[in-house]
Structures are given as C-alpha cells and as structure tokens.
Amino acid sequence: MDKVVQKAIASDKRWRAVYIACGLLIVALTLLMGAFLLYQGSQTFIKAHHSIWEFLFTSDWAPLDKTGLFGGKVGAAVYIVGSLETCLLALIICLPFAIGSAVYMTEISPKIGEKYFRPATEIYVSIPSVVYGWFGMTKLVPLIKNIFHPAMGGYSVLAASIVLAIMIFPTITTVSADAIKSVPMSYREGAYGLGATRWQVIGKVVLPAASGGILTGIILGLARAIGEALAVSMVIGKTRSFASNLLSPTSNLTSAIAADMGNTAQGGEYNLALWTMALLLFIISIVLIVLIHKLANGKKDK
C-alpha cells in the first residue's frame, strides 16, 4: 500500500480514538456526578435513618452539625416550598411578556424583531446572575419596601420571583419565537383565507400549533429558575420559615445550599441533609429534561 495512504489511515485512527475518549469522558463525568450525588444525597436516609417523608413534607429543620452524630431534624419543606413558589410565580409573571414578545418579533414586526429584539434578548442570557441579584437588592427590594411597606422589609418571595422572571424571560422568549417561526406559512394562509383577523390567526392557529415548542421553552426556563442560587439568595431574605404572603421573606433550596455548604462538618447530619437537597434539585432538573425530550418526540410522532 502507498505510504501516504497508510499514514492517513493511521492518523485517522489516532484522531478517532481521541474523539471517542473525549466523548466517553463527558459521559463518564456526568454519570459519575449523578452517582456521587445519589450516594451522598441518600446518606440522610441510609446512614442517619431519616424518612423521605420527613425530608420532603415536614418543616422542622435542626440537623446536628457534628461528624457522625445523628438525631436532629431534617424537614426541608420550607426550602422546597420556597423553591417551588418562587419558580411558579416567576413563570406566571414572565409568561405573558415572553409570549407577547415572541409574537411581536415573529408575527407583528419580524424585521425589527430579528434585527434588534432578538439580539437584545440574547444579551440578557449572558448577564451574570450576580448582576441580576445586585439589581434586585439595590433597586427592586427598596421599591417593594416603599410601595407595600411590609413588616420585614422588601426582601421577599415577590422580589425573588421578579428577579427570576427577568432571568428566564430571554430563554422562554427565544425558544417560543423559534417555535412560532416554524409554524408553516400554509396554516396562516388557510386561516387568513377564511376571513380571520390577524389576532384570530395568531391566537387560534399559530399559537396552538407552536404550543409544543412554547412548552419546551417554559420547561427550559423553569430548569434555569429552579437551579438559580446567587440572584435569588440576594433578595429572598433567607429566613427559615414559610412565607405567609408574597411580601414576606423565606428561603429556598439553592440559597440554603450556597449559604451553609462550606460551614458544615464533613459527613455530619447537616452536611448530608444539604447533599440531599442538592440531589433533589438534580432530580427535578432531570425530570424537566425528560419532559422536554418527551414533548419533542411527541411532536415528531405526529
């Protein structure tokens, strides 16, 4: 065989090995991280003999912070509810704006939308979360305090939700806009041909046809919101009690982990309980991602 060809084949094989190794490394890292979280996170139940029920549904939070000493309380319901309520409220606040913007930049004014609106929206994504938190702390919290005069100051579920809403806005908007754009022109023509107005076309044909993609955007946004730690912890108040209303402070999973992780004794009950919270976040993210894939495949089957 020709020498040049032999060399090319050898180099091809070498590179193939390098790429396979890189791919495997990533897969292995992900699996390892999952396995590690699963191991660490389950110790609260295995080693410290707490029940899953206690962790998820009770709010007595008094884990012992000494290596090897168990017998405290690990009810994380305050944090779990805090995470869920801020995310859901953020979604409710964000959704009308996000879908409105997506419709605007695809249906109403595609030229301006593509030229200015989409780049502007994408810049939002790249702003570090500490900036959002800083903005929330210095502008939003005082604003809430001055408008509503809550007893505990402006640090609140509402502040956290608004900051999260701003943070997930670009994700939901751009994904929804792509979904709306991919609705075939023939659907619009069909509806216009029946004498529909622009709003009837958008509301009753385009948006329903794009609903799968919009839902994907919502789930992606939720996944970002549930995992956001810094910005939320800066404005939520971090008090370990349920919020009695939207204006009272509370805490959430990510804030608690971020605040206490470094200060707990390795292998202590407190430390293990925080690992369990991290595992819970991981599970929520996986569920959301599986949902996205289910939705995407469901669309294809049609």
Partner 1 sequence: MEDKITIENLNLYYSDFHALHDVNMHIQKNEITAFIGPSGCGKSTLLRCLNRMNDLVEGCRIEGSVKLDGTDIYGGDLDVTVLRQRVGMVFQRPNPFPMSVYDNVAYGPKIHGVTDKQELDEIVETSLKQAAIWDDLKDRLNKSALGLSGGQQQRLCIARALAVKPEVLLMDEPTSALDPISTSKIEELALQLKKDYTIVIVTHNMQQAVRISDKTGFFLLGDLVEFGETDQLFSMPKDERTERYITGRFG
Positions 157 through 186 that interact with partner 1 (CB under 8 A): 184, 186
Between 12 and 189, name the residue whose CB sits nearer to partner 1: 189
Does 295 interact with partner 1 (rule: CB under 8 A)? no
Structure tokens at 44: 């609260």
Q: Which stretch binds partner 1 (CB under 8 A): 24-32, 101-109, 195-203, 267-275?
A: 195-203
Token duo for residue 27: 């897969």
How many whole angstroms separate alpha carbon 94 and alpha carbon 216? 15
287, 258 Cβ separation under 8 angstroms: no
Contact region with partner 1 (CB under 8 A), list: 77-85, 127-135, 193-201, 259-267: 193-201
Cα separation, 225 vs 222, whole angstroms: 5
Question: Cβ closer to partner 1: 119 or 195?
Answer: 195
CB of 211 to partner 1, least distance (A): 10
Of 45 and 187, CB closest to partner 1: 187
- How big is the site for partner 1, counted in residues (CB under 8 A)? 19
Structure tokens at 138: 């210095």
Residue with Cβ nearer partner 1 (60 or 189): 189
Print the binding letters for residues 205-244 with partner 1: x by CB under 8 A, - otherwise: x--xx-----------------------------------
The stretch near partner 1 (CB under 8 A) out of 30-38, 200-208, 218-226, 275-283 is 200-208
Q: Residue written as tokens 């029946």?
A: 194
Q: What angle do CA 179, 158, 248 make, to 5 degrees?
A: 155
Q: Tokens 């997930």 identify what position?
A: 168
Smaller CB distance to partner 1: residue 96 or 193? 193
What is the rounded distance in angstroms from the CA atom of residue 75 to the CA atom of residue 79? 9
Whose structure tokens read 């139940």?
45
Interaction residues for partner 1, span 92-131 (CB under 8 A)? none
Residues 6+ apart with CB under 8 A from 237: 152, 153, 155, 156, 248, 249, 250, 251
3-class DSSP state for residue 252? coil
- The distance of closest approach from Cβ of residue 217 to partner 1 in the complex, given in angstroms and rounded to an integer, is 18
DSSP of 8-29: HHHHHHHHHHHHHHHHHHHHHH
Closest to partner 1 by CB, 14 vs 204, is: 204
Work out which of 26, 49, 96, 195 binds partner 1, going by CB under 8 A: 195
In this chain, which of 12, 60, 122, 189 binds partner 1, going by CB under 8 A?
189
Residues that bind partner 1 (CB under 8 A): 184, 186-197, 200, 204-205, 208-209, 302
